[in-house]
Amino acid sequence: MPVEEFVAGWISGALGLVLGHPFDTVKLLGFFKGMSFPIASTAVVNSVLFGVYSNTLLVLTATSHQERRAQPPSYTHIFLAGCTGGFLQAYCLAPFDLIKVRLQNQTEPRAQPGSPPPRYQGPVHCAASIFREEGPRGLFRGAWALTLRDTPTVGIYFITYEGLCRQYTPEGQNPSSATVLVAGGFAGIASWVAATPLDVIKSRMQMDGLRRRVYQGMLDCMVSSVRQEGLGVFFRGVTINSARAFPVNAVTFLSYEYLLRWWG
């Protein structure tokens, strides 16, 4: 199994994250100090995303990454490979994402004497507390919604990226850096716009169970959210998601492409 894609995904994910971190922090108006945890988790997850995508394409089309410029895969194959990558990365992402959402949603402890300490003291303490209080399955709370969010939308991510690259690149050539940046940025926006409705539901499911369970399940969460807040609830955060998605994914794709060209 070619591993370059996993390594390139690892590095490019970490680079993209550095740009996305400020957006991620304001997204939930929470505080998320320290970048080592998000960098490590994004690197792992992005490596699974790109590694599985590329290796699924290899299985479907029998072409390696280097051969794909001369023999471009069909959009159906790209979509299927993207969905496979999205599905598997969602499982790896689930516990990390849960910890991120829980930490972001806890308010900053004010340095006043006597104020209660924050519930979670950091990523490791958060993981251990969830494990203890909600069981091992608690670490996968919201994973189902996350999988539904990411399976089709990662397909959209790669279709948009490849489609835009092909549009602006003469046949058989590598796309220019400007093309990769723009195609990567728009791939991020397109997939995040499509992912936002389930992103809202996913985050609510992840926060559920902290005190008492509010929702019976994902469907119940959707129905009661729409009842209380209207259909607009599904677009909550779409602007910040898109603003974050452009730079993060432009840099992710640029570094991914260049690392592979450099090694290949």
Ligand X SMILES: C[N+](C)(C)CCCC[C@H](N)C(=O)O
| Window 42-81: contact mask with ligand X (x via CB under 6 A) | ----x-----------------------------------
Which residue, 138, 156, 191, 131, is CA-closest to 75?
A: 156
Least spacing, CB of residue 199 vs ligand X, in Å: 7
Is residue 83 a contact residue for ligand X (CB under 6 A)?
Answer: no
Least spacing, CB of residue 230 vs ligand X, in Å: 23
Cβ density class 69-103: b for 16+ within 10 Å, e for less: eeebbeeebbbbbbbbbbbbbbebbbbbbbbbbbb
175 φ/ψ angles, rounded to the nearest 5 degrees: -65, 150
Which residue, 44, 43, 52, is CA-closest to 15?
A: 43
Judged by CB under 6 A, the stretch of 1-9, 50-58, 159-167, 191-199 that binds ligand X is: 191-199
Which residues within the stretch 89-148 sit at the binding site for ligand X (CB under 6 A)?
none
Per CB under 6 A, the list member of 181, 249, 255, 257 interacting with ligand X is 249
| Paired tokens of 224 | 């009661």
Per CB under 6 A, the list member of 153, 203, 225, 255 interacting with ligand X is 153
Which residue, 84, 210, 189, 209, is CA-closest to 147?
A: 84
Per CB under 6 A, the list member of 192, 234, 246, 253 interacting with ligand X is 192
Binding site for ligand X (CB under 6 A): 13, 16, 46, 86, 149-150, 153-154, 157, 188, 191-192, 195, 245, 248-249
